[in-house]
Chains A and B, each alone.
Chain A
Amino acid sequence: MSRRRARGRLGWNVLGIVIFVVLVFPVFWMLSTSLKDNDQISSFTPTWFPRHPTLQHFEDAIHRQYFWTDVGNSAIVVLATVAIALVLSFLAAIALAKYGFSGRKLFIVLVIGIQMLPQAGLIIPLYIVLAGRHQVNTLTGVILVYLTFALPFCVWTLRGFVLGIPKELEEAAMVDGSTRLGAFVRILLPLVAPGLVATAVFAFITSWNEFIFANTLLHSGNKQTITVWLSFLYGGNRFVDWGQIMAASTLIAIPVVIFFLLVQRRISFGLTTGAVKG
């Protein structure tokens, strides 16, 4: 019996490794290509590993026009979105979790409902609104748009975290003579910190990865975000510089990968709290 089970496990392990290889292959191929020299890339029989690893493509990519400008734009957009989303959604989450107010139910419906709208369907209305305020082709316009998507998710996730903290803790602090603000700063804030980190990373990733709105709203090369920059990295001429494209892709993926490894558990938790608890 136990031997049969061991053999069964071996079979599953082999299957698991095969799936791992297929799953990760595109990522591996990106890395591998970015390190190959051009002769090896354009060869008709591809080789798995770079023969003479070179950083030339990375160097070409970062010296390309607007690379650093657009990385800077992305950084500004991401930082502003994360900062504003965190402050607003934390306050909103506390209100939702702790206080009853008229319109609370409507607020919850909106918070959940807005997350469900397909972004493509909102390009035109948002574009028209922003154009009316002269916010097309500006970073502030894009930040506003990203906030509309980041806020609902952050509010909802943080609400879950705030709810998880027993009311008695805060009350005990206030009985011991702390003010409401003091209880908030000393009790609530440290306990919700993991939630704040998780939502901050989520807002970071979505705004760093976003393409549709950045692509429609930002027209000039020096105002674009880095994903739009990458989407134009095609060449247009007959020769496509795949090495450089893969090197740039790697550079753009790195920040997201790092942050993802930090919090992936929290994100799936946030999106499906309903399923687990309901």
Chain B
Amino acid sequence: MLLRTVVFTAVNVGLTMVLGTLGALLLVRVSTWVRLLLTTGLVLVWAMPPVVAVQVWSWMTNSENGVLNYILTDVLHVGNYFQHNWYETTFSQYSMVTSLVVWGAIPFVTITVYAALSQVPHELVEAAQIDGARAWRIFKDVTLPVLMPVLLILTSLSIIWDFGVFTQPYLLIGPGQQTTSNYLMSTYLYFEGFGKSDFGIGAAISILMLAIVAALSVVYVRRMLRVGEET
């Protein structure tokens, strides 16, 4: 279960960071009106309360007549997903949870990275272009170093959030469908602590979680502290 939580966190954080950063790079390249459109969309997604998002997800992915199965089968023709049950296996359940969590987390990353991108000096990019550097080289050697501090903080924040994520897996998979075979740390803690009223075990899991997150968030806290010291 610890392993499942770690893998889940790693996949979610990885997807969020990669897609979010790509989104920010795209925002720089599109025309102003598309950028405005995309930013509005991002804020809209960002604003969705998690419980609302869960309800929309369970409607879209339900096996009876969910729109996801329809799109896969009849619009994109990638295979026959008619009445496919996405909540049959643990892997499939968590794929749905992942899509939900990543969808909700991308806007924050994209908008923040986009703000940071505006701090990349133009002269440096132009100089690199004149020297004949390819797009990838420019990204790797000019843009990335400037973005690094922001990416580092966003990654540690995402790790902290995704490691403890509760609402989405708990509600989307459904309180009744969760057993020892598909717990995450957070849901395990909840079902042991409140489902079985065993506060002892629950508290033990809490401590374990807090210790892991504390270790992971050292980067973030240290950097924030440095900001606090400066003044």
**CB atoms of B51 and A231 under 8 A apart:** yes
The complex places the Cα of A128 from the Cα of B193 at a distance, in Å, of 11
Encoded as 1 (CB less than 8 Å from any B CB) or 0, chain A from 232 to 273 comes to 010000001010011001001100110111001000110111
8 Å CB interface, B145-167 against A = 149-150, 152-154, 157, 160-161, 163-167
B77 CB-CB contact with A under 8 Å: no
A175 CB-CB contact with B under 8 Å: no
**CB atoms of B116 and A275 under 8 A apart:** yes
A112-B225, A117-B213 known; A123 vs B193 contact (CB < 8 Å):
yes
**CB atoms of A246 and B38 under 8 A apart:** no
**CB atoms of B52 and A116 under 8 A apart:** no
B117 to chain A, nearest CB (A): 12
Q: Which chain A residue shows the least CB distance to B111?
A: A268
Provide the residues of chain B in CB contact with A119, threshold 8 Å: 164, 166
The complex places the Cα of A264 from the Cα of B193 at a distance, in Å, of 36
B190 CB-CB contact with A under 8 Å: yes
Contact of A9 among B29, B38, B185 (CB under 8 A): B29
Provide the residues of chain A in CB contact with B56, threshold 8 Å: 26-27, 29-30, 246, 249
Instruction: Choose among B23, B47, B51, B185 the residue with the greatest number of A CB atoms under 10 Å from its CB.
Output: B51
The complex places the Cα of A125 from the Cα of B210 at a distance, in Å, of 12
The complex places the Cα of A108 from the Cα of B41 at a distance, in Å, of 35
A274 CB-CB contact with B under 8 Å: yes
A112-B224, A124-B203, A278-B223 known; A260 vs B115 contact (CB < 8 Å):
no
Q: What are 28 A-B contacts defined by CB distance under 8 Å?
A: A9-B29, A9-B30, A17-B34, A23-B42, A26-B103, A27-B44, A44-B65, A45-B70, A105-B228, A108-B225, A112-B220, A113-B214, A119-B166, A120-B165, A121-B206, A122-B206, A123-B194, A156-B224, A211-B50, A245-B55, A252-B52, A257-B44, A260-B46, A275-B116, A275-B153, A275-B154, A275-B223, A278-B227
A185 CB-CB contact with B under 8 Å: no
B18 CB-CB contact with A under 8 Å: no
Q: Which chain B residue shows the least CB distance to A160?
A: B227
**CB atoms of A16 and B225 under 8 A apart:** no
A43 CB-CB contact with B under 8 Å: yes
**CB atoms of B223 and A274 under 8 A apart:** yes
Provide the residues of chain B in CB contact with A261, threshold 8 Å: 43, 47
Other contacts beyond A46-B65, A260-B46: 20, CB < 8 A: A16-B35, A23-B103, A26-B48, A30-B52, A30-B59, A46-B67, A112-B221, A112-B225, A113-B217, A116-B217, A116-B221, A118-B164, A120-B206, A209-B51, A211-B50, A230-B51, A252-B49, A264-B111, A268-B115, A272-B150
B56 to chain A, nearest CB (A): 5
Provide the residues of chain B in CB contact with A88, threshold 8 Å: none
8 Å CB interface, B20-75 against A = 23, 26-27, 29-31, 34-35, 37-38, 41-57, 59-60, 62, 65, 67, 70, 74
Provide the residues of chain A in CB contact with B214, threshold 8 Å: 113, 116
A125-B206, A230-B51 known; A260 vs B43 contact (CB < 8 Å):
yes
The complex places the Cα of A179 from the Cα of B16 at a distance, in Å, of 51
**CB atoms of B157 and A271 under 8 A apart:** yes
A24 CB-CB contact with B under 8 Å: yes
**CB atoms of B193 and A33 under 8 A apart:** no
Interface residues of B (CB under 8 A from A): 23, 26-27, 29-31, 34-35, 37-38, 41-57, 59-60, 62, 65, 67, 70, 74, 103, 106, 108, 111-112, 115-116, 119, 149-150, 152-154, 157, 160-161, 163-167, 171, 185-186, 189-190, 193-194, 199, 202-203, 205-207, 209-210, 213-214, 217, 220-221, 223-228, 230-231
Provide the residues of chain A in CB contact with B106, threshold 8 Å: 23
The complex places the Cα of A36 from the Cα of B190 at a distance, in Å, of 37
A102 to chain B, nearest CB (A): 16
**CB atoms of A16 and B30 under 8 A apart:** yes
**CB atoms of A233 and B55 under 8 A apart:** yes
Provide the residues of chain A in CB contact with B199, threshold 8 Å: 124, 128
A4 CB-CB contact with B under 8 Å: no
The complex places the Cα of A272 from the Cα of B25 at a distance, in Å, of 19
